Structure formats: C-alpha cells, structure tokens
C-alpha cells in the first residue's frame, strides 16, 4: 500500500492542488523517457524508485533530520561546497529547476524574458510546489550570472539566502577571493547550524563526498566503452539524483550499478549497437525533469557518452585532496577543487575548450551537441568559442537553444536527426 505523504506536504506549507498538478505531469513523462528503454541495466531499479518517491521518502528523511535539530541547506549550483554543510551536521540539497512551473507567480517579481532555470526556481518557491524548497532552512546563492544573483536578492524575501561571490577569472587574487568566500561560508554554516566544524568532521565529510565523486567517475569511465553499457539518459538521471539523495546510500548503489556495467562491458552488451553515433552533450545544466534533449538524441539512434554539464562531469570530475593537516588547509583544498570547475562565468575559459577536445578523444565521440537554455547569456555567448575550437580540431558541433516547453520538439528532432545523419 502506497504511503500517503499529503499530510506531510501540507505540514511544510505545500500548495496541495498545485502540487497535484505537478505530480500528474511527471509519471507519464518518466515512463515514456525511461521505462520504455531497451537493454536497460537492472541496477537502474533503485534510481527509478528514487524518482517514484521523489517527493516522498527523501522528504520524510529530511523532515526527520530537521525534527532532531538538523538543518537542510539548499543550493542551485555546483560551486556550493557540500563538504562544509555535511561537516556541520547539515544536509546539502540540490534544488530542482528543470520544469516550467509557477510562471505566473514568478513573472510578478521577475522579467518575462529571463532564463527558464531562474524563472523555474522562483516559480517553485512562490507556487509552493517543491517540498525540497520548503524543507530548506537556508539557500545558498552564487554570482555565476547576473540573472541569478539579482533573483537571489528577491528570493531572500521568502527564505534566508547566503550569497557566495564566484570570481569571474582565475588569477591568484581571484583564488584568494574564493578561498575567503569558502571560509566565510564555513563560518556562516557553523553559526546557522550551531555546530563547530572540526578537523575530524571536515576530514570525514571530504572523504564521503569524494567517494560519491569516485563512484560517478567510475561510471563515467565505463561509458568510454563501445558499445556503451548504459544510456546517456540513465547516466544523466543518476547525476541529477546525486545532488539530493543520501550520500552514502547513493554511493553504494552507484557502485553496485558499476559492477553490473563492468560485466556488460565484458559481455559486449550495450544499450545501442556499436555503430550508434557517440555524442557528448555540453552547455547549461539539465535539472530534473529536463530530459527533453537527451531523449530526442537517443530516440534518434545515437548514444550520449558524456555530459560536460553541471549536471554531469563538472559536478564530480575533481577530487578534494584528503591529506590536509588542519581545517584551514582543507578549506584551501576545497576552494581549489571548486574553482577548477569550467563554468561559463569565467573569462577567459580555455579550460572548458581544452576539456571538450580531450573528452571527444577519450570517449571517441562522433560529435558534440551544445545545448543552451534561452536567455542564458554565458553559455549562448561562449558557444562561439566552443564552435571555433572544435572546428580547429575537426570535431562536428551542433548548437541548439531551447527552453522547458515541448513546442520546439519537432524542430529539435529535425535538426538533431540531420546532424546525426551528417556525422554517420
């Protein structure tokens, strides 16, 4: 018998009518995109369960944590150091912003023509449809784009927001600024949770989050094989879930899945034939339930082998050194790890260009699809640099711009199919 979570949702302030409409939109979408895949690994059963319980069991766990005096801290960006939140006994949650919801409410406080991701997270909050958002005691904002940093000012009217200034360059003085921001964040988290972060607690949390990253890196490495043992859609789903599931449980389940994937590689068993075009997707993050482009790509006969996205490699590709001898050194190591992320907020951003060329070689990719959300200036503008570098290296590229609606699906199918036909 299914658990009735409605009393819990009501108790945390969810608008039940609006929430019902949201949930009604998800299940058929998930079935069409995920459950109808062929040759799917058995280990995906856990991740299907997580999605089925997306607003249920995990929210119950968060409420249990809060009932014991724990804090839940939400984030929208991979620059927020999860290690520090965990070291203070808190839970760090990646907040959803991958569906068009609460647009009417969001447009009361935001411009109509703004990035769908920004409008989505504001819509989630103002429409009171996201139990993760309503479970957060504090949200961490960052200055990775002008739209977000100004929207966080407005969001602060509804929930406590701590801002982190993300440098726009990677010079020594920028690194120094970022280290001070991470140190300030540690102090803020200590004050907010009432818990002192010790050498032991920070060392433990660094290892726990690193283990999660290593599990995801292992999965990413297995995708270099041909045929690919897991679809890009399933990999994207796992990377999305990584941002809010229980860290140790998630790490164990990804490890179990990787054991299965290793056997599939040995058996030569893949989700597509070995002649399927191998695609890397890059650009703006794809938050749950934004699966549109990935679904179109793989439904067109290709296989996505890597995501150079924040919901992808940028989230887990670098490990924090574990040999720090004191809190200050570990804070510096954490800051260094996060500043190595190749976000389009940086100028210049040669690291991202070099990474894309490297990935294309490592994953034997036949082409790269650059997907930008409408009005996302950093990625839309940086697509010019990406195109230039990939052309110099003979790597086929398709640039697309989209939003969270389905109205452009037909056009996207036509363009993606034509690109795949070209690279075949």
pLDDT tens, residue by residue, 59-76: 999 999 999 999 999 999
Query: Model-level pTM?
Result: 0.96
Amino acid 28: pLDDT = 66
Mean pLDDT of 285-297: 95
Question: Residue 100: which pLDDT band, with cuts at 50, 70 and 90?
Answer: confident
CATH of 9-28+53-202, one of 3.40.640.10, 3.40.50.11890, 3.40.50.150, 3.40.50.1820: 3.40.50.11890
Percent of the chain with pLDDT over 70: 99
Q: What confidence tier does 303 reach under pLDDT thresholds 50, 70, 90?
A: very high
Of 340, 334, 331, 81, nearest to 183 by C-alpha is 331
Mean pLDDT of the chain: 96
* pLDDT number for residue 1: 61
For the chain, the residue count is 424
Flag the least confident range among 74-78, 79-83, 101-105, 199-203: 101-105
And the tokens for 173?
A: 């003085």
Task: Delimit the domains of the chain by residue range.
Answer: 9-28+53-202
Helices (H) and strands (E) in the chain, counts: 19, 8
Confidence of residue 23 (pLDDT cuts 50, 70, 90): confident
Answer yes or no: is pLDDT of 96 > 90: no
Structure tokens at 61: 């766990």
pLDDT digits (tens, 9 = 90+) for 110-142: 999 999 999 999 999 999 999 999 999 999 999
**Residue 225: which of 379, 362, 413, 46 has the closest Cα?**
362
Tens digits of residue pLDDT in 185-197: 999 999 999 999 9
pLDDT digits (tens, 9 = 90+) for 370-383: 999 999 999 999 99
Closest CA to 26 of 2, 4, 48: 48
Q: For residue 91, what pLDDT is reported? A: 98
* pLDDT, mean of residues 32-44: 94
Q: In this prediction, what percent of the chain has a pLDDT beyond 90? A: 93
* 3 state DSSP class of 142: strand
* Three-state secondary structure call for residue 143: coil
Rounded to an integer, the average pLDDT of 297-321 is: 97
Q: Are 127 and 101 in contact (CB under 8 A)?
A: yes
User: Cβ neighbours of residue 141 under 8 Å, at least 6 residues apart?
Assistant: 76, 148, 149, 152, 155, 161, 162, 163, 164
Q: In which band, very low, low, confident or very high, does the pLDDT at 55 lie, cut at 50, 70 and 90?
A: very high
Q: Which residues pair with 371 in a beta bridge?
A: 283, 400
Residue 68 main-chain phi, psi, to 5 deg: -90, 10
């Amino acid at each position: 018998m299914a658990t009735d979570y409605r009393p819990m949702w009501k108790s945390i302030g969810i608008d039940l009518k609006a929430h019902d409409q949201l949930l009604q939109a998800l299940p058929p979408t998930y079935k069409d995109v995920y459950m109808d895949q062929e040759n799917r690994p058995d280990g995906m059963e856990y991740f299907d369960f997580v999605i089925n319980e997306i607003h249920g069991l995990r929210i119950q766990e968060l409420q249990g944590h809060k009932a014991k005096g724990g804090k839940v801290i939400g984030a929208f960006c991979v620059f927020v150091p999860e290690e520090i939140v965990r070291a203070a006994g808190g839970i760090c949650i990646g907040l959803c912003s991958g569906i068009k919801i609460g647009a009417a409410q969001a447009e009361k406080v935001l411009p109509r023509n703004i990035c769908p991701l920004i409008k989505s997270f504001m819509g989630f909050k103002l429409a009171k449809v996201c139990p993760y958002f309503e479970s957060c005691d504090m949200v961490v904002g960052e200055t990775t784009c002008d739209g977000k940093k100004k929207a966080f000012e407005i969001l602060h009217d509804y929930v406590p927001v701590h801002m982190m200034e993300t440098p726009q360059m990677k010079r020594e003085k920028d690194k120094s600024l970022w280290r001070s921001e991470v140190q300030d964040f540690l102090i803020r988290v200590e004050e907010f949770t009432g818990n002192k972060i010790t050498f032991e607690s920070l060392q433990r949390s660094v290892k726990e989050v690193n283990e999660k990253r290593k599990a995801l890196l292992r999965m990413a490495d297995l995708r270099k094989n041909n045929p690919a043992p897991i679809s890009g859609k399933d990999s994207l789903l796992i990377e999305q879930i990584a941002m809010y599931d229980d860290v140790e449980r998630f790490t164990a389940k990804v490890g179990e899945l990787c054991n299965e994937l290793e056997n599939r590689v040995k058996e030569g068993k893949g989700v597509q034939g070995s002649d399927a075009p191998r695609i890397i997707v890059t650009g703006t993050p794809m938050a749950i339930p934004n699966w549109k482009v990935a679904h179109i790509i793989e439904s067109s006969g290709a296989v996505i082998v890597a995501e150079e996205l924040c919901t992808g490699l940028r989230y887990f590709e670098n490990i924090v050194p574990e040999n720090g001898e004191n809190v200050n050194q570990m804070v510096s190591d954490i800051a260094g790890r996060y500043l190595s992320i190749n976000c389009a907020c940086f100028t210049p951003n040669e690291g991202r260009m070099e990474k894309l060329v490297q990935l294309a070689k490592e994953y034997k990719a036949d082409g790269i699809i650059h997907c930008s959300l409408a009005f996302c200036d950093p990625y839309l503008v940086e697509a010019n640099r990406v195109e230039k570098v990939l052309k110099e290296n003979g790597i086929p590229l398709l640039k697309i711009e989209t939003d969270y609606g389905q109205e452009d699906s037909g056009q996207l199918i036509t363009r993606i199919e034509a690109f795949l036909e070209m690279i075949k």
